[in-house]
Amino acid sequence: MFQFQRLPGRVLSQLLVLIALVVLVIPLVLIVKESLGGEGFTNYTVVLSSTPFLRFFANSLIVSVSTVLLVMFLGLSASYGFAVLRPRGSRVGAVVILTGLALPAIALVVPLYYVVQAIGLLDTYWSVIIPLTVISIPFGVLVSSNYIRGLPPELYEAGRLDGANSWQFFWQILVPICRPILSVVAIFTFLAAWNEYLLPLLFIQSTDLQLLTQVPTYFQSERLVDTPKIFAANILISLPVVVVFIVLQKTFRTGISAGAVK
């Protein structure tokens, strides 16, 4: 990008990038420094040994991966219907789903709680997976619909000429082509599910089913807050998100540029 700018613009752009990096890096350095306060790296070993960290890690992985898979499938399926199949009432359905973007998640907690309780799923993984899926689907539909509408119409015509029905076109043609936008949906959904704190706290009572975001509460009470260990726990909790982004960063960048705006 910089090579297309004149020298003054290039210097200004690089200066702005440097300032942005400093602004982003300083909080990270302070977080790491705080996590090493007191007992140093022992804070990390205490977090791993004195809490059910591995059990909570497995629970979070189950909930997050299940939510990501459901949101990708349901979001892409709905987008395929709205953008390609266009059945009767599809516009109304799209508006209803996208209205979910305007609703704060906290406003849905009470009705979701009663729904989960009514179907007998309270205090299970599904009591968190279903609400997280419902909350995340509008974003998945929004970006996936824009991405699908940007595909050339000849693609659908070629699929019909080759004898592919709607289901075959979806699985064999559309899903592989939509990998970039699915990466965007996967990363944002995984981030939201992995960092979710309120829903597991309200919907899950069993300690064995709690998620990783509950680990920092082991180091705070009415009389004592062990800040270094809380920061160490938060760093350990954030590592899987960093790994997911590193793995999917190439297709993520492609999907952001292609599907975020039409």
CATH code, domain carrying 231? 1.10.3720.10
Q: What's the token pair of residue 194?
A: 């992995």
**Mean pLDDT of the chain, nearest integer:** 83
Tally the domains of the chain: 2
What sign does the dihedral 138-144-149-153 (CA atoms) show? Answer: negative
Same domain flag for 8 and 87: no
Same domain flag for 85 and 167: yes
pTM of the model: 0.83
Same domain flag for 185 and 148: yes
CB 134 within 8 A of CB 108: yes
Average pLDDT over residues 125-134: 91
Same domain flag for 21 and 82: no
* Model pLDDT, residue 29: 87
Q: Which phi and psi (to 5°) does residue 226 adopt?
A: -90, 85
Range of the domain at 141: 40-259
Residue 183: burial class (beta carbons within 10 Å; 0-12, 13-18, 19+): buried
Alpha carbons 126 and 119: distance in angstroms, whole number: 11
Residues with Cβ within 8 Å of residue 84, at least 6 apart in sequence: 148, 156, 174
CB 59 within 8 A of CB 212: yes
* Model pLDDT, residue 126: 92
Q: Per-residue pLDDT for 140 more than 90?
A: no
Average pLDDT over residues 87-105: 78
Same domain flag for 208 and 145: yes
